[in-house]
Amino acid sequence: MKALVFQGPGRTAWQDVPDPGIKDAADAIVRVDAATICGTDLHIIKGDVPEVAPGTILGHEAVGEVMETGGDVRTVRAGDRVLVSCISACGRCRFCRENRYGQCRGGWVLGHLIDGTQAAYVRVPFADLSVHPLPSSVDSHDAVLLADIFPTAYEVGVLNGNVRPGDTVVVVGAGPIGLAAIVTARLYTPGRIIAIDLAESRLAAARALGADATANAGERPEQLVDDLTEGLGADVVMEAVGVPESFEMCTRMVCPGGRVANIGVHGKPAALHLEDLWIKDVTITTGLVDTHSAPLLLRMMATNRLPASSLVTHRFALGQMEEAYDVFSRAAETGALKVALGGPGHDAVARSAAEPPAAS
CB 317 within 8 A of CB 326: no
Torsion sign over Cα 180, 296, 120, 27: positive
Tens of pLDDT along the chain (360 residues)?
A: 999 999 999 999 999 999 999 999 999 999 999 999 998 999 999 998 999 999 999 999 999 999 999 999 999 999 999 999 999 999 999 999 999 999 998 899 999 999 999 999 999 999 999 999 999 889 999 999 999 999 999 999 999 999 999 999 999 999 999 999 999 999 999 999 999 999 999 999 999 999 999 999 999 999 999 999 999 999 999 999 999 999 999 999 999 999 999 999 998 999 999 999 999 999 999 999 999 999 999 999 999 888 887 899 999 999 999 999 999 999 888 989 999 999 643 333 333 334 433 332
Contacts 24+ apart (CB under 8 A), 218-225: 221/172, 221/194, 221/196, 221/249, 221/253, 222/249, 222/252, 222/253, 224/194, 225/168, 225/170, 225/194, 225/253
All residues at 6 or more sequence positions from 268 whose CB lies less than 8 Å from its CB, including other chains = 243, 244
Q: What's at 247, amino acid-wise?
A: F
CB neighbour list of residue 221: distance below 8 Å, 6 or more residues apart: 172, 194, 196, 215, 249, 253
pTM of the model as a whole: 0.91
Give the length of the chain.
360
Give the span between the Cα atoms of 355 and 259, in whole angstroms: 31
Beta strand spans in the chain (E): 2-8, 11-16, 28-36, 62-69, 81-84, 121-124, 131-133, 168-172, 192-197, 213-216, 234-239, 254-262, 283-285, 312-316, 338-342
